[in-house]
């Protein structure tokens, strides 16, 4: 869309220049001799021919003195007058407006070129600083296009009005186009180098208490310590045991029968020990931290006086389990709970057995 707008601007400008040049072409041709000779006295030049012939610029004239150097202003083109004071240009050069200025040490003279039409422009793309440009080169800079007025290099169009003429100004931004389809996934890039180690962070908060570890193996017997110093004298010992009873004396006479004493208080009730016959067992090869419990219950109408429990392992390795609780869980029930502290192993189980001491 932007390219078509720029093309229309190029065509509009070129047509305008072409109409202006066509209108003035006849007048220019008629005025060549008069325009060339009017200032010739001041510049010491007489121009007889100034025309485009076979696509080349041809200028023929005379200077005031032989050997005079005649230059085309704004270019490096020059000619030297011969012994008859005649100078001649026959070069591949065009001006954008069919005008140019000849100069000598004595001054300058402006002339119109016959058989000359307006020149077109040469698109050169975006302006770059390291490229040389010649007149009528067309470049893009800052959103607008510019036409070179003279040869230049490293002269930015937006700031160098002596070297560039705005050809077409950029228009207002158009509406945003529709969103395009997502592109294909790019290939995975190579892994970057490892970055430097970061600073050490602050200590973290203490973690939760871990489970109880398994019991360690018994340590080796330590060496016998050195004999300690003599202790202080001990206190006197307790009295010795009573000696043997002497032989019985002769029996005395039987005394009179005493009166019956009062009845003593009732003695305490007896108790019964209750055991849960089967106990509670774990599954085979139970993992660490597996718990297992058993209960013993007094009969109806009986009161729990106390209790206890025991743990057993089928392999006989009782260190693999430990008691975590043994308590009265109600007025008639005693509970015991064990925990696996080392994995039991294949086919091995553990069992808890509770006991209750109940009133009779």
Position with higher pLDDT, 79 vs 181: 79
Per residue in 231-284, pLDDT (tens digit) is: 788 788 787 787 787 787 687 677 677 777 787 665 455 677 776 656 777 788
Answer whether 2-112 and 122-168 agree in fold. no
CATH of 271-359, one of 2.30.110, 2.60.40, 2.60.120, 2.30.30: 2.60.40
pLDDT band of residue 12 (cuts 50, 70, 90) is very low
Average pLDDT over residues 156-181: 87
Check whether 80 has a pLDDT greater than 50. yes
Asked if pLDDT for residue 360 goes beyond 80, the answer is no
- CA–CA distances in Å: residue 33 to residues 28, 37, 53, 60, 101: 10, 6, 17, 11, 14
> Does the pLDDT value for residue 140 go beyond 50?
yes
Residue located via tokens 């067309």: 138
Instruction: Report the pLDDT averaged over residues 79-87.
Output: 96
44-77 confidence digits (pLDDT tens): 899 999 998 887 999 999 999 999 999 999 999 9
Assign 97 a pLDDT band (cuts: 50, 70, 90).
confident
- The whole-number pLDDT of residue 20 equals 37
Beta strands 122-126 and 137-141 are parallel
pLDDT for position 37:
37
Structure-model confidence comparison of residues 310 and 231, the more confident one: 310
Q: What is the pLDDT of residue 278?
A: 64
Task: Provide Rg for the chain, Cα atoms.
Answer: 63
User: Which has more pLDDT, 40 or 121?
Assistant: 121
The mean pLDDT value for 323-348 works out to 90
Name the band, by pLDDT with cuts 50, 70 and 90, for residue 323.
very high
Mean per-residue pLDDT, 141-167: 93
% of the chain residues with pLDDT over 90: 29
Q: Give the model's pLDDT for residue 116.
A: 79
- Domain 2-112 sits in which CATH superfamily? Immunoglobulins (2.60.40.10)
Per-domain residue ranges of the chain: 2-112, 122-168, 271-359
Whole-number average pLDDT of the chain? 80
Residue 8's Cβ-count burial label (10 Å; 0-12, 13-18, 19+) is: exposed
pLDDT surpasses 70 at 42 = no
**What's the pLDDT at 265?**
66
Of the candidates 104, 98, 108, which has an alpha carbon nearest to the alpha carbon of residue 24?
98
pLDDT at 276 (0 to 100): 65
Is 14's pLDDT higher than 70?
no
CATH code for 122-168? 2.10.10.20
pLDDT exceeds 60 at position 347: yes
Give the model's pLDDT for residue 269.
Answer: 58
- Residue 6 pLDDT exceeds 70: no
Q: What pLDDT sits at residue 279?
A: 73
Q: Of all residues in the chain, what percent carry a pLDDT higher than 70?
A: 83
């Amino acid at each position: 869309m932007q390219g078509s707008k720029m093309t229309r601007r190029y065509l509009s400008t070129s047509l305008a220049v072409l109409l202006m040049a066509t209108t003035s072409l006849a007048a220019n041709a008629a005025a060549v001799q008069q325009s060339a000779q009017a200032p010739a006295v001041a510049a010491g030049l007489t121009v007889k021919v100034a025309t485009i012939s076979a696509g080349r610029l041809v200028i023929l004239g005379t200077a005031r003195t032989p050997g005079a150097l005649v230059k085309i202003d704004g270019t490096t083109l020059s000619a030297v007058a011969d012994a008859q004071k005649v100078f001649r240009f026959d070069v591949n050069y065009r001006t954008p407006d069919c005008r140019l200025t000849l100069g000598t040490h004595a001054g300058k003279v402006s002339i119109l070129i016959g058989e000359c039409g307006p020149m077109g422009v040469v698109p050169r793309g975006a302006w770059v600083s390291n490229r040389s440009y010649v007149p009528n080169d067309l470049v893009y800079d800052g959103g607008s296009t510019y036409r070179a007025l003279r040869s230049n290099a490293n002269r930015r169009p937006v700031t160098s009005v002596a070297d560039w003429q705005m050809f077409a100004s950029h228009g207002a931004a158009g509406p945003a186009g529709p969103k395009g389809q997502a592109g294909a996934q790019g290939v995975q890039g190579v892994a970057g180098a490892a970055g430097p180690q970061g600073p050490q962070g602050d200590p973290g908060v203490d973690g939760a208490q871990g489970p109880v570890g398994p019991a360690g193996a018994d340590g080796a017997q330590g060496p016998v310590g050195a004999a300690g110093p003599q202790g202080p004298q001990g206190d006197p010992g307790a009295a010795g045991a009573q000696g043997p009873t002497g032989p019985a004396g002769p029996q005395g006479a039987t005394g009179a029968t005493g009166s019956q004493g009062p009845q003593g208080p009732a003695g305490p009730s007896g108790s019964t020990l209750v055991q849960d016959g089967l106990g509670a067992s774990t599954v085979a090869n139970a993992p660490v931290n597996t718990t297992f419990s058993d209960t013993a219950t007094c009969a109806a109408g009986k009161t729990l006086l106390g209790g206890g429990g025991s743990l057993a392992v089928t392999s006989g390795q009782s260190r693999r389990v430990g008691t975590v609780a043994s308590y009265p869980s109600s007025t008639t029930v005693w509970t015991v709970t064990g925990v696996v502290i080392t994995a039991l192993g294949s086919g091995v189980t553990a069992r808890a057995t509770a006991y209750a001491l109940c009133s009779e």
